[in-house]
A = this chain, B = another copy of it.
Amino acid sequence: MSAANAGRRPTLAVVGATGAVGTVMLDLLSTREDVWGEIRLIASPRSAGRRLTVRGEQVEVIALSEEAFDGVDVAMFDVPDEVSAAWVPVAAARGAVCVDNSGAFRMDPEVPLVVPEVNPDDARRRPKGVIANPNCTTLSLIVAIGALHRSFGLEELVVASYQAASGAGQAGIDTLYGQLEKVGGTRTLGQRAGDVRGAVGDFGPFPAPLALNVVPWAGSLKDAGWSSEELKIRNESRKILGLPGLRVNATCVRVPVVTTHSVAVHARFSRPVGRDAAWETLRNAPGVVLSDDPEHGEYPTPADVVGTDPTWVGRVRESLDDPNGVEFFVCGDNLRKGAALNTAQIAELLAAEFSD
């Protein structure tokens, strides 16, 4: 920011304030250190006029429009790709630095893709006035991977995800709850082919039943059988880590969990790691909690991680037959670090420029 801004508390706009991620964002803005002047809540015209609580005060939601960005210093977007594609340039042209949580700009070479624990300096180079927030699945593992990469030099990732319903937004949450209501009292379902398919009702945003099931699909179909979600993990990890040649193969699977993505990770480094050194690195990594004592039943699970900020890592093992390899299991709240929290952290990096 220019020197003229120094010392001013910046104005923040939250676009998509009424959605699943927006709701978590308002909670975060009310509980994190308050660095903002005005906080403006923006949503689609049908949500305009609703009053939401942020920082203990009622704020009226205003409709998305060009004028809504007048005087805004930082604008966070938690809206679908096509809404971001249309409106982020509008906000940027009005002078707001935009932090976008959609997929619209993540792979744009002129838009940095930022995880504050991993590549905070990238946030300073933003020729379009736009910073992108990574996909929630990438975010569930990248903080832990970033810490290990700094110590040991990452060369390859093979990952399999266990993705929560809320990764598909409020419709995903509603669908899972609706299906569980239908199957919850029936002690015979899930034992014959198709019986769950017939019992759960609406599939909502998912291509198959999610209750009593797992579904090896998330996103849209890309080349050669890959899903968009699988390619995002690869492309975004490469960009965030600054490793354009990193080998990444992912399989993305949806599971009947409301919120918190988990990932089973096989990571190969350029030098030997070992369990003790991996533990040491993860224990000291900002944003990571090491929960790894299987003898006492300690490993992260979504039910215990949901609603918390950090990336939780457990089940750390040296790969068998390969001292350069490490296996682990990671859980992260896909609405918090996976979306709202990382966006808030990026916005706070920007806010700090005002007090420089």
Interface residues of chain A, those whose CB is within 8 Å of chain B, are 158, 160, 162, 177, 180-181, 183-185, 187, 189-197, 207-209, 212-217, 221, 224-227, 234, 247-249, 251, 253, 255-259, 262, 264, 266, 275, 292, 294-295, 297, 299-308, 314-322, 325, 327, 329
Query: Chain B contacts of A299 at CB under 8 A?
Result: 215-217
Quick one: which of B180, B234, B322 contacts A184, CB cutoff 8 A? B180
Q: A181 CA to B299 CA in the complex, in Å? A: 26
13 A-B residue pairs with CB within 8 Å: A180-B183, A190-B306, A191-B307, A207-B297, A208-B304, A212-B256, A212-B258, A212-B302, A213-B303, A216-B300, A225-B294, A225-B317, A249-B319
A181 close to B192 (CB less than 8 A): no
Determine the residue in chain B with the shortest Cβ distance to A293: B225
Determine the residue in chain B with the shortest Cβ distance to A231: B320
Quick one: which of B216, B255, B301 contacts A216, CB cutoff 8 A? B301
A304 close to B258 (CB less than 8 A): no
Q: A9 CA to B193 CA in the complex, in Å? A: 33
B264 close to A193 (CB less than 8 A): no
B259 close to A253 (CB less than 8 A): no
Quick one: which of B187, B195, B213, B216 contacts A177, CB cutoff 8 A? B187
Query: Chain B contacts of A247 at CB under 8 A?
Result: 320-322
A141 to chain B, nearest CB (A): 13
B262 close to A225 (CB less than 8 A): no
Query: Chain B contacts of A255 at CB under 8 A?
Result: 162, 214, 255-256
A142 to chain B, nearest CB (A): 18
Query: Chain B contacts of A303 at CB under 8 A?
Result: 190, 193-197, 208-209, 212-213
Q: A216 CA to B315 CA in the complex, in Å? A: 8
Query: Chain B contacts of A251 at CB under 8 A?
Result: 160, 264, 266, 315, 327, 329
Quick one: which of B213, B257, B294, B304 contacts A301, CB cutoff 8 A? B213
A225-B292 CB under 8 A given contacts A297-B208, A301-B214: yes
A225 close to B162 (CB less than 8 A): no
B257 close to A212 (CB less than 8 A): yes
Q: A248 CA to B234 CA in the complex, in Å? A: 23
5 shortest interchain CB distances as A-B pairs:
A184-B184, A190-B258, A160-B160, A160-B264, A196-B303
Q: A160 CA to B157 CA in the complex, in Å? A: 13
Query: Chain B contacts of A185 at CB under 8 A?
Result: 181, 184
B190 close to A227 (CB less than 8 A): no
Query: Chain B contacts of A308 at CB under 8 A?
Result: 193
A110 to chain B, nearest CB (A): 25
Query: Chain B contacts of A160 at CB under 8 A?
Result: 160, 251, 264
Quick one: which of B217, B234, B257 contacts A190, CB cutoff 8 A? B257
A294-B227 CB under 8 A given contacts A216-B314, A319-B249: yes
A218 to chain B, nearest CB (A): 11
A271 to chain B, nearest CB (A): 18
A279 to chain B, nearest CB (A): 10
B190 close to A259 (CB less than 8 A): yes
Query: Chain B contacts of A266 at CB under 8 A?
Result: 158, 249, 251, 266
A315 to chain B, nearest CB (A): 5
Between A226, A248, A315, the greatest number of chain B beta carbons within 10 A of the residue's beta carbon is seen for A315
A329 to chain B, nearest CB (A): 4
